């Protein structure tokens, strides 16, 4: 029987102040910007070890539904 080695794990957390209205629940008071016609689409594959090194990646720049 082999023992597992300990690994370091990073964790991100979000907290809220008690009895205070969250920012997402507040009414928008200013006009929102218009969405861009351009989009950057990317995907990547990483190794499954704790380092998660990049194995493969690709990207596309699109204007509406057309590759730019």
Give the pLDDT band (50/70/90) at residue 62. Answer: very high
Q: Supply the pLDDT for residue 24.
A: 72
Residues in the chain: 68
Q: Supply the pLDDT for residue 1.
A: 59
Claim: this prediction has a pTM higher than 0.75: no
Q: Could you read off the pLDDT of 3-61 as tens digits, one per residue? A: 888 888 888 787 778 888 877 777 777 777 788 889 999 999 988 888 889 899 999 99
Q: Is 40 in contact with 59 (CB distance < 8 Å)? A: yes
For β-strands 38-46 and 54-63, DSSP reports them as antiparallel
Alpha-carbon span 34 to 24, nearest angstrom? 19
Q: Supply the pLDDT for residue 12.
A: 79
Q: Is 23 in contact with 29 (CB distance < 8 Å)? A: no
């Amino acid at each position: 029987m082999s023992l597992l080695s300990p690994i370091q794990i990073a964790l991100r957390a979000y907290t809220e102040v008690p009895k205070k209205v969250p920012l997402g629940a507040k009414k928008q008071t200013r006009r929102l910007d218009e969405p861009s016609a351009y989009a950057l689409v990317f995907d990547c594959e990483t190794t499954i070890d704790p380092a998660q090194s990049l194995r493969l990646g690709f990207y596309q720049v699109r204007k509406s539904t057309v590759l730019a």
